[in-house]
Amino acid sequence: MLRRPCYPASLETRKEIEKHINELLEMDFIRKIGHNKIVEITTPVLITWHDGKCRLCADFRVLNNYTKADRYPIPRIPHALEKLAKAKYITKMDCMKGFHQNGVKPNSVKLLRIICHMGIYEYTRMPFGIKNAPAHFQRIMDTIFQEEILEG
């Protein structure tokens, strides 16, 4: 993995990054570190949705290249719709920052570092951009809702 410098960013983008970093710090999803001794870091990336809202991700492409894929199955939309068609009630849940609700192993934290104009931070919760985050999240949801899934 490479240690990368900060991506160049406009003043507007830097302000948006600051907003997200401060929010993640407040929720204890990341922590600031004062040094980076021979540990890989990457840069944050803002993803802007069609409604103008942004999500902070990180460019973990190099880490993802070295990560063994978790082949846990993600439900297919047609299969989910087929099950929904038979449902008496339908409930919608929004798992706010769903991946961030999952912790990471202490020895993995050093691989989840980002650098920006505000300094160096490391994720203490699962960040967006990690190759196996969707499979890990799905496994947890399947475990929590096992009875409901089996009942159909």
Sequence spans of domains, the chain: 11-151
Report the mean per-residue pLDDT for the chain. 85
Residue pLDDT, tens place only, 87-111: 788 777 777 778 888 889 999 998 9
Residue pLDDT, tens place only, 53-73: 888 888 899 899 999 999 998
Q: What local confidence, expressed as pLDDT, does residue 4 receive?
A: 67
**Contact yes or no for 136/70 (Cβ under 8 A):** yes
Q: What local confidence, expressed as pLDDT, does residue 2 receive?
A: 53
Give percent of the chain above pLDDT 90.
33
Answer yes or no: is pLDDT of 119 > 80: yes
Q: Where are the beta strands (DSSP E) in the chain?
A: 30-33, 44-48, 54-58, 113-116, 119-123
Based on the number of CB atoms within 10 Å of its own CB, is 114 exposed (0-12), middle (13-18) or buried (19 or more)?
A: buried
CATH superfamily of the domain spanning 11-151: HIV Type 1 Reverse Transcriptase, subunit A, domain 1 (3.10.10.10)
Answer yes or no: is pLDDT of 25 > 70: yes
Least confident range of 81-85, 99-103, 147-151: 147-151
**Contact yes or no for 36/54 (Cβ under 8 A):** no
Answer yes or no: is pLDDT of 37 > 80: no
Distance CA 63, CA 48 (A): 23
Q: Coil, strand or helix: which one is 46?
A: strand
Among 37, 29, 46, which residue's Cα sits nearest to residue 117?
46
Answer yes or no: is pLDDT of 10 > 60: yes
More confident residue, 85 or 23: 23
**Contact yes or no for 106/113 (Cβ under 8 A):** no
| Residue 39 banded pLDDT, cuts 50, 70, 90 | low
